[in-house]
Amino acid sequence: MATATFTRVRKQSTAPRRENVEILRAAVFHTPKNPFHFVDALAASPDGAIAIHAGRIAAAGDYIAVRAQYPDAVVRDLRGGCLIPGLVDTHIHFPQTRIIGGLGYELLDWLENLALPEESRMADTSRARVVAREFVHGLASHGTTTSLVFGAHFTEATAELFDAAHRKGLRVISGLVLSDRLLRPELHQTPEAAYLASKTLIERFHGLGRLRYAVIPRFALSTTEAMLEVCQTLRRETPSLSFTTHINESPAEIAEIARLFPWAPDYLSVYEKYDLVGRQSVLAHSVHATGDELKRLAGHNGSVAHCPCSNAALGSGIFPMKRHLDANVRFALGTDIGAGTGFGILKEALQSYLMQRVAAEPLTLTAAQLLYLATKAGAEALSLDSEIGDFAPGKAADLVYLRPPHGSTFDTALIHAEENPERMLASLLTLAGSESIGEVRVEGDVVYEGKP
Ligand code: GUN
Ligand code: ZN
């Protein structure tokens, strides 16, 4: 049986590379260390620079030091702006791009009335092609360079997403969404058809350029045990695949899971039974996890996609971050579009800060922790941290240049932050929207340029 492995990655560059070193001069922020464990984790240079060579970080830090290392490099003066690592979205649904903003629902009635009817429209491949273009533009224009994406329930529509991401040059991990019950008939596949379609997509896209494949049962509610067994088989046959699904999002959903899997002591045990939880697994939401589930999730080294805008929009609840930290469960940010409120991962970071202030066990997150959750934590959750997530020399030059519009509140706040790195970063996290995204690069290649 054909499998895609990383020994036969077909590497295709999306743009010609500059072989000379280029220096970008601006304020630089990144988190080489985990700010939940180290107080000095934030690396910040108000007059900073990043040197890039052949798509890789050659150096990052204070401008004077970087310049001294590469005196002959071309310098692009971007002062007044900021450079941060490419943003990572660990949970987002491509087919839901056009239904962002559906107010007034809880999870299960939102699915029935808004999300699933829209997902059915992905049967029209030409429509899916246009939505895929809108989707990858949404990612790039908000600074998201890497994402773990729920594809469609249809093979061709999922292929359109991969094609669009490949053309754009983004890092996308995605796959066919698998379900065989309780949605709408047109969104169901048989387990056999799901297996064959998944194999076709894996062969075509896993390891193609910056693309990777993920096994994605929508959630245990919409998958029989036969379908979960297919997921297990797919992962066994290609161990480099990622895995993602939903867990413990809303009380009504959890009650349904208990009814459908009467043998299961809790939600996590359904996925555990089929060996679906490990280092490459990202489980979205985890708002209502029990202590025992958190303990086991940490033991599996799995990750959680924390989606604070979606959790608030659907009234799902407040993510118990303190309990996840205490249990050593890894987590990173996700937008969960279309239940989420937009493509901005920086907005998710701010929402996380706001919600944790008022959580049952409140936390006051620092700017460094929020930047980490938006970048390096996502890279770690997706097992891409040897390649991306911070500006360590040798890593890929995935970055976002934020340029405050002249006269904007963000501009004013940055100017008056008096070169205090924590204050500058906090202003950025609070005020920088998509209008502030000046340029976005993946492996040094420009994938988005904002209007001058
Ligand atoms: N659970 C199952 N499907 C979905 C979805 O599309 N969005 C969210 N937020 N939760 C889900
Ligand atoms: Zn979701």
Could you read off the pLDDT of 228-253 as tens digits, one per residue? 999 999 999 999 999 999 999 999 99
388 secondary structure, DSSP code: S
With the C-alpha atoms ordered 409, 414, 417, 421, is the resulting torsion angle positive or negative? positive
Q: Which amino acid residue places its CA nearest to atom 7 of ligand 1?
A: 339
User: Is 423 a domain residue?
Assistant: yes
Task: Give the pLDDT confidence score for residue 6 in this predicted structure.
Answer: 39
115 in ligand 1 pocket by Cβ < 6 Å?
yes
Residues 422 and 398 in one domain: yes
Residue 439 structure tokens: 């340029």
pLDDT in tens, 176-194: 999 999 999 999 999 999 9
Q: Does residue 180's CB lie within 6 angstroms of at least one atom of ligand 1? A: no
User: Would you place residue 105 in the very low, low, confident or very high pLDDT band (cuts 50, 70, 90)?
Assistant: very high
Structure tokens at 438: 């000046």
Do 58 and 106 lie in one domain? The reply is no
pLDDT of residue 451: 83
Rounded Cα gap, residues 392 and 452, in angstroms = 29
Q: Residues 6 or more apart from 313 whose CB is under 8 A from it?
A: 103, 339, 340, 341
- Map tokens 């240079």 to a residue: 45
Query: Could you say which ligand is closest to the alpha carbon of residue 219?
Result: 1
Count other Cβ atoms within 10 Å, centred on residue 197. 20
* Confidence check: pLDDT of 13 > 50: no
- At 151, list the tokens: 């594809």
CATH number, domain containing residue 144: 3.20.20.140
Q: What tokens were used for 43? A: 């690396």
343 and 426, same structural domain?
no
At residue 418, does pLDDT exceed 90?
A: no
Domain boundary residue, one of 351, 381, 411: 381
Domain match, 165 and 220 both: yes
Which one of 324, 356, 381 terminates a domain?
381
Does 347 share its domain with 322? yes
Q: What percent of the chain has pLDDT over 70?
A: 96
6: in domain: no
Q: Are residues 50 and 150 in the same domain?
A: no
Q: Is 122 helix (H, G, I), strand (E, B) or coil?
A: helix
Domain count across the chain: 2
Q: Which of 218, 248, 283 to mutate to test the pocket of ligand 1 (most atoms within 8 A of CB)?
A: 218
Judged against a pLDDT cut of 70, whether residue 5 lies above it is answered with no
Rounded to two decimals, the pTM is 0.96
Cβ–ligand 1 distance for 243 under 6 Å, the answer no
Q: Which domain holds residue 408?
A: 18-85+390-449
Contact 329, 368 (CB under 8 A): no
Q: Which pLDDT does position 419 carry in this prediction?
A: 83
Does the pLDDT value for residue 261 go beyond 90? Answer: yes
Report which DSSP code applies to 112.
Answer: I
Among 12-26, 106-120, 251-265, 381-395, name the one with the lowest average pLDDT: 12-26
The stretch 141-168 carries a mean pLDDT of 98
Phi, psi of 391 (to 5 degrees): -100, 35
* Residue 242 sits in the same domain as residue 126: yes
**Judgement on whether residues 294 and 443 belong to the same structural domain of the protein:** no
Q: Is the pLDDT of residue 17 over 90?
A: no
